[in-house]
Structure 1
Amino acid sequence: MALDDALADDRTTLRELTAATLAQTHWVGCGAAARAISLARLGAHSPHETRTRLALIEAGLPEPLLQQAVFLGSRLVAVLDMYWPDHGVFAECDGMVKYTDPWRGRSPADALREEKRRQDDLLDLDLRGVRITPDDVRLRLHEKVERLRSLFDRGPTSPPRYRTELFNDGLRITPRAAAG
């Protein structure tokens, strides 16, 4: 989680982390550091996103693309936490902070209404997805994995009418920590 957090704020890169580890191969614990770096990904913007991604991979699902912007023409429809382009499937890591402490001057009701509109826009583009809460990862992961597998098995419903690309180079728009 710490590595994903540092990557998301552009405080380091995977290349820098790998180089630092290779320079210290004689240190105790270097193998564990190398393993952690192999699991780190640019684009995981919260501990919940990291936990969820790792749990889905451990459950045998393919590695998703992270922070994929979905565009319809020039309009940004959404930025997906996780996306499997071969299947037209996404997963959203749905914590409570967007409702309990919404940003951009929105009320919790506004945030919920925007989230519902966004979901409808994604469904209208024939994207299919699953919302995963922290409780789901702890208590019901098997159900979410089976739901995702079911969506993967269906394949894309039609050629995409949208395009996707990595949003903001995978970085957070507003870093959580100041660069060192």
Structure 2
Amino acid sequence: MNKFRIGFGYDVHQLKEGYDFWLGGIKLEHSKGAVGHSDADVLIHVICDALLGAANLRDIGYHYSDQDPEYKGIDSKLLLADVLKMIRENGYEIGNLDTTICLQLPKVNPHIDTMKTCLAEVMAIAEEDISIKATTTEKLGFVGRQEGVSAYCVALIYKND
């Protein structure tokens, strides 16, 4: 019998000039980048949170404190790989991920296939098990004013008993 669990992740990062913009494990060319203690990859952060939540392993901030200098500027793909190690040590595998990125600019759609390839490789899962969608906020709110980026993720994990 399979045991299924779901988890949810949400994250926001401010956008500012002079920062690199990492999203879904790849660097996007843009005049602004996300600000954070790590590389501020909002998509990877929500995936980590959703997976950790599904396995009842708390959240990304609990495991990788933004007060710890070890994680300053860290590539979020390394955090994701570590989260997958924790998930698998607890007997779980990923069923699928469904994500949404909220961003006015740059346009995300041209980069989705590359992101899926990158993330699938890091997590050792099939690209078909990763859904990445993008939306603007029709120029409303902090996303619409290009002050920040947000993302959401729902993760399904399972354990074979």
Q: TM-score, normalised by structure 2?
A: 0.30
Identify, as 1 or 2, the structure richer in strand: 2
Bigger-Rg structure (1/2): 1
Q: Which of 1 and 2 has higher RCO (CA within 8 Å, sep 6+)?
A: 2
